Amino acid sequence: MTISHGDLLYEGKAKRIFACERDGQVLVEFKNDATAFNAQKKAQLDEKGRLNCRISSCLFELLEREGIPTHYLGMAGDTWMVVQHVEVIPIEVVLRNIATGSLCRETPLPQGTTLDPALLDLYYKDDALGDPLLTDSRLALLDLISGEMRQGIEALARRVNAVLSPFFRAQALQLVDFKLELGLNAAGELLVADEISPDTCRLWDLACTDSEARILDKDRFRKDLGGVIEAYGEVCKRVQGACPTPRNCS
């Protein structure tokens, strides 16, 4: 750690958020805790925090270069990131390019079906409720966001997909699906927040046809496939080729 931090503001499943002496900024510490199935399954995985912090930093810098606003300001040590403090919108945006996971449990769509255009779903971010899928009418009923904000969120998420999908493809990785969290900074700007890592993206190795061996994301942990950190390390190796020296903000 090379930057001094203030009070712990929030401890989540994968990260801790600390106050920072700089106005409008907070520090994010990436932990080695792995959780799945709404934290019913837990483990400590050495190096996960470092790998996810590094991968996220590279991907946020990529998005920034493509003109997509994010909370990212820079790294501050191996497992620390400086970000703009945002009011996180309690909605998880999930974009799917290929059908798998809960979509195939909840619908008759066969595993591996290509979704073009990508399927975009909104989920209510609430662990106690199990992050339920939001229908249009439930979204209106809960009055969580305006119609205009919803359009902004969906357009931003599709732009992220339009940047990340070809980027990963160039690293021989298929971006199967991913989850985004978005927030509003003090100026009211909508930013991509949280993290973008193998915890939040499904990534398949395009060089591999075996349906288990190709998995390079948190599904290795969910499905007890082993080699979780090796997979995250492989993603990091490929991603950091495009961003060898992430910005240091300490």
Q: Which residues contribute to the site for ligand ADP (CB under 6 A)? A: 10, 12-15, 17, 26, 71, 83-86, 88, 181, 183, 193-194
CB of 246 to ligand ADP, least distance (A): 17
Q: Which is nearer to ligand ADP, 20 or 62 (CB)?
A: 20
DSSP 72-115: EEEE-STTEEEEE--EEEEEEEEEEEE--THHHHHSSPPTT-EE
CB of 161 to ligand ADP, least distance (A): 20
- CA 89 to the chain's CA centroid: 14
Residues 6 or more apart in contact with residue 213 via CB below 8 angstroms? 205
- 101 and 94 Cβ atoms separated by less than 8 Å: no
Q: Which is nearer to ligand ADP, 9 or 242 (CB)?
A: 9
Rg of the chain, C-alpha, whole Å = 17
Q: Please state, in angstroms and rounded to a whole number, the distance separating the CA atoms of residues 193 and 182.
A: 5
Q: Which is nearer to ligand ADP, 56 or 238 (CB)?
A: 56
Q: Minimal CB distance to ligand ADP: which residue?
A: 12
| Axis crossing angle, helix 147-170 with helix 48-65, rounded to the nearest 10 | 110
CB of 77 to ligand ADP, least distance (A): 17
CB of 96 to ligand ADP, least distance (A): 19
Q: Which is nearer to ligand ADP, 199 or 205 (CB)?
A: 199
CB of 38 to ligand ADP, least distance (A): 10
CB of 31 to ligand ADP, least distance (A): 7
- 229 and 218 Cβ atoms separated by less than 8 Å: no
- 78 and 53 Cβ atoms separated by less than 8 Å: yes
Residue 42's CB is within 10 A of a number of other CB atoms, namely 12
Q: Which of 27, 49, 38 is nearest to 198 (CA)?
A: 49
Q: Which is nearer to ligand ADP, 128 or 207 (CB)?
A: 128
Q: Which is nearer to ligand ADP, 63 or 193 (CB)?
A: 193
